[in-house]
């Protein structure tokens, strides 16, 4: 592709354009540096290209407007937290009702919405019993604790270069502790075994001694680019877990994009636990984990495990009425079966648009789709493992593409090259991306 020097020139031009377009964001960033670590409310927000983040003024549906008055089509959608679109009206109405009408954002008492959401998640994912958290990270952390408690086994198995939130056990790669792991409490190789995604032999070998409590896996990796399972891999994983009486936890936080019941329903999977978060309450914080009947019984039969007070599973605001009111409205009226069908069609259009550009321009890249989500990979064939996907990473090229798109009103996820459709996304939004992506590729060529 582009020579490094020409890429650097093109990037410098985009940086100048960014600076010219965003004086107010720059001003707010300079101010925030006085009171916020790295000048941002959460350090990962420093990831945005351009030297500082764009400050948002408002966000509705699939659009964000910044403090300098620019409007963006948002394919980042809060890295899935806003997959329902920004401020979906039914969710907003439910939140208003909860806060202003019924009253009570957080109580020590359940509300009817909790049972409704449990029933709906059971219908979608096929697991009958649910508990709530505030983040997907916590849902995963508690799923791991419960898995260790019921099996009495010490280890967790994860896939190389996975991401499941800031869960200590998951910060390990086939090479050892994950580079950049911030202050790990213990060496994670003492808690965790790691296999490459799609390597069933490795999974079988690592489960053979029956010391692994659970496998924690996304049905398709989404945080190191998208890596889809090869035919038979997930079935083999389930069978290996069954043979060794290892629990299988499916983290559907991102793969929910595959359909109304995530990959679990779309592909007929049967995990023992599903964890999820981010999107199911329309942007209001929530996490959830669902367990099978059998596992639910084992959890309730645990002796000496403090599930009520200070035993390590639970959070004061978990299961709060506000989250659950928002989740009920979002699942009932926003992220519906029909909405998923439309989002997937839009993503088909997105993928076809990108493929058209790659074909026309003769660029040997590929794009992988998972329902409403798509991801560009800088190789003619999509990666088959986390390591393969990581090897395709190209920081300068990604930064250029992100900035070029942003400068022309298109946001994609700042981490790698992911785009997500919401129920509010339109064909015109998708076509704007296609046109702008084509322009970017032509500049590179």
Binding residues for ligand PMP, per CB under 6 A?
79, 135-137, 140, 163-165, 218, 223, 251, 253-254, 277-278
Strand partners for 288: 132, 276
Q: What is the closest distance, in whole angstroms, from the C-beta atom of residue 189 to ligand PMP in the complex?
A: 21
Q: State the residue for tokens 């992988």.
A: 368
- The rounded distance, in Å, linking the Cα atoms of 243 and 240 is 5
Say which residues have a Cβ less than 8 Å from residue 117's Cβ, sequence separation at least 6.
130, 132, 288, 324, 327, 328, 331
Nearer to ligand PMP (CB atom), residue 216 or residue 331: 216
- The rounded distance, in Å, linking the Cα atoms of 373 and 319 is 28
Nearer to ligand PMP (CB atom), residue 224 or residue 424: 224
Residue nearest to ligand PMP (CB): 165
Q: What is the closest distance, in whole angstroms, from the C-beta atom of residue 113 to ligand PMP in the complex?
A: 21
Q: What is the closest distance, in whole angstroms, from the C-beta atom of residue 15 to ligand PMP in the complex?
A: 27
118 backbone dihedrals φ, ψ, rounded to 5°: -60, -45
Nearer to ligand PMP (CB atom), residue 79 or residue 375: 79
Q: State the residue for tokens 């007929």.
A: 268
As a residue count, the chain comes to: 445
Nearer to ligand PMP (CB atom), residue 130 or residue 163: 163
- Closest C-alpha among 288, 256, 245 to residue 147: 245
Q: What is the closest distance, in whole angstroms, from the C-beta atom of residue 54 to ligand PMP in the complex?
A: 20
Q: What is the closest distance, in whole angstroms, from the C-beta atom of residue 414 to ligand PMP in the complex?
A: 12
Q: What is the closest distance, in whole angstroms, from the C-beta atom of residue 303 to ligand PMP in the complex?
A: 30
Nearer to ligand PMP (CB atom), residue 147 or residue 223: 223
- The rounded distance, in Å, linking the Cα atoms of 260 and 354 is 25
Q: What is the closest distance, in whole angstroms, from the C-beta atom of residue 133 to ligand PMP in the complex?
A: 8
Q: What is the closest distance, in whole angstroms, from the C-beta atom of residue 34 to ligand PMP in the complex?
A: 27
CA torsion angle 378 440 222 49 (round to 10): 120
Strands 273-277 and 287-291: antiparallel
Strand partners for 63: 60, 73
Nearer to ligand PMP (CB atom), residue 188 or residue 277: 277
Residue 344 token pair: 């997937």
Residue 125 token pair: 């994912």
- The rounded distance, in Å, linking the Cα atoms of 70 and 21 is 8
Nearer to ligand PMP (CB atom), residue 50 or residue 81: 81
Residue 300 token pair: 């309730």
Q: What is the closest distance, in whole angstroms, from the C-beta atom of residue 185 to ligand PMP in the complex?
A: 18
Query: What sign results for the dihedral spanned by CA atoms 361, 369, 341, 412?
Result: negative
Nearer to ligand PMP (CB atom), residue 224 or residue 377: 224
**Which ranges of 81-232 does DSSP label H, i.e. alpha helix?**
89-96, 112-125, 136-151, 200-207
Nearer to ligand PMP (CB atom), residue 173 or residue 253: 253
């Amino acid at each position: 592709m582009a020579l490094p020097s020409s890429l650097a020139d093109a990037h410098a031009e985009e940086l100048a354009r960014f600076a010219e377009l965003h004086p107010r964001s720059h001003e707010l960033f300079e101010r925030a540096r006085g009171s916020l670590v790295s000048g941002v409310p959460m350090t990962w927000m420093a990831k945005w290209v351009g030297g500082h983040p764009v400050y948002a003024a408002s966000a509705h549906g699939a659009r964000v407007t910044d403090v300098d008055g620019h409007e963006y089509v948002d394919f980042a959608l809060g890295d899935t937290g806003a997959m329902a679109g920004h401020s979906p009206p039914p969710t907003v109405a439910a939140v208003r009702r909860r806060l202003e009408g019924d009253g009570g954002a957080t109580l020590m008492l359940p509300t009817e919405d909790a049972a409704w959401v449990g029933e709906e998640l059971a219908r979608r994912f096929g697991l009958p019993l649910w508990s709530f958290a505030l983040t997907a990270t916590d849902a995963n952390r508690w799923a791991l604790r419960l898995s260790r408690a019921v099996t009495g086994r010490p280890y967790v198995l994860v896939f190389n270069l996975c991401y499941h939130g800031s869960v200590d056990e998951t910060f390990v790669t086939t090479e050892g502790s994950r580079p950049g792991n911030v202050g790990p409490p213990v060496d994670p190789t003492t808690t965790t075994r790691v296999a490459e995604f799609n390597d069933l032999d490795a999974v079988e070998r690592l489960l053979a001694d029956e010391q692994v409590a659970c496998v924690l896996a996304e049905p398709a990796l989404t945080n190191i680019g998208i890596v889809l399972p090869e035919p038979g891999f997930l079935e083999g994983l389930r069978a290996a877990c069954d043979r060794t009486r290892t629990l299988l936890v499916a983290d559907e936080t991102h793969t929910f994009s595959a359909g109304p019941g995530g990959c679990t329903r779309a592909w007929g999977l049967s995990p023992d636990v599903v964890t999820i978060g981010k999107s199911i309450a329309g942007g209001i914080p929530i996490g959830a984990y669902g367990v099978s009947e059998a596992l639910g019984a084992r959890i309730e039969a645990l002796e000496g495990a403090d599930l009520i007070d200070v035993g390590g599973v639970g959070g004061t605001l978990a299961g709060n009425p506000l989250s659950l009111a928002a989740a009920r409205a979002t699942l009932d009226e926003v992220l519906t079966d029909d909405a998923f069908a439309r989002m997937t069609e839009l993503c088909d259009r997105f993928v076809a648009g990108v493929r058209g550009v790659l074909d026309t321009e003769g660029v040997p890249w590929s794009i992988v789709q998972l329902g409403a989500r798509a991801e560009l990979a800088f190789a003619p064939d999509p990666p088959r493992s986390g390591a393969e996907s990581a090897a395709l990473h190209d920081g300068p090229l990604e930064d250029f593409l992100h900035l070029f798109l942003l400068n022309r009103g298109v946001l994609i996820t700042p981490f790698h090259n992911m785009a997500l459709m919401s129920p509010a996304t339109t064909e015109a939004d998708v076509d704007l991306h296609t046109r702008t992506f084509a322009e970017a590729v032509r500049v590179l060529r």
